């Protein structure tokens, strides 16, 4: 999927959960993570966007409006935005990510339930790996997936953020 002509535009802002970085291709948002580290963003985009130019968003660009809408949605100042996504992964990852997008806010599933729902009941660990490979935190809501015993399990951005996201959803903030 390498496209040496691709341009990835990025922006960083402050959210109630810490620095929030987003990046987008012409297709849509391809990265949303809790860090202001630009090198980490490039690394996270990895081979799916190798050869792409990586440029900061211009002032007033749509990407900045997306970032503002995401930050407002996180702290309850506005509705949760529906943004176009540019998801790139294996066929299995795509099945997991699509399923996760259908989990309603304020509800959770176990890794085993996700594996069962996508027709791969023995792939519980692979579901966890797919969650970890998710490049668009919150928009593909891997934070809604818990261990079978109901414990939080892991979360790339820390268990405190996972707990805060689930609490905000439970309160109807987004």
Among all residues, which ones are annotated catalytic?
Answer: 142
Nearest to 73 by CA among 30, 27, 13: 13
Please enumerate, as own/partner, the contacts of 111-118 that have beta carbons within 8 Å and a separation of 24 or more: 111/145, 111/146, 111/147, 111/148, 111/153, 112/148, 114/145
Is 57 in contact with 65 (CB distance < 8 Å)?
no
**How is residue 81 annotated by DSSP?**
P
Is 118 in contact with 95 (CB distance < 8 Å)?
yes
CA distances from 139 to 66, 72, 99, 133, 149 (A): 12, 14, 12, 13, 25
């Amino acid at each position: 999927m390498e496209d040496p002509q691709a341009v990835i535009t990025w922006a960083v802002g402050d959210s109630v959960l810490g620095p929030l970085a987003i990046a987008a291709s012409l297709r849509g948002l391809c990265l949303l993570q809790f860090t202001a580290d630009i090198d980490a963003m490039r690394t996270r985009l990895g081979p799916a966007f190798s050869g792409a130019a990586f440029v900061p968003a211009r002032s007033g660009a749509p990407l900045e409006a997306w970032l503002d809408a995401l930050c407002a949605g996180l702290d309850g100042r506005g509705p949760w935005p529906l943004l176009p996504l540019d998801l790139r992964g294996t066929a299995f990852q795509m099945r997991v990510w699509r399923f996760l997008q259908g989990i309603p806010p304020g509800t959770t599933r176990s890794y085993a339930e996700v594996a069962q729902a996508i027709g791969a009941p023995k792939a519980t660990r692979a579901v966890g790996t797919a969650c970890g490979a998710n490049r668009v935190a919150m928009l593909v809501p891997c934070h809604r997936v818990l261990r079978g015993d109901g414990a939080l399990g892991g979360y790339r951005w820390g268990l405190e953020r996972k707990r805060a996201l689930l609490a905000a959803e439970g309160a109807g903030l987004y």
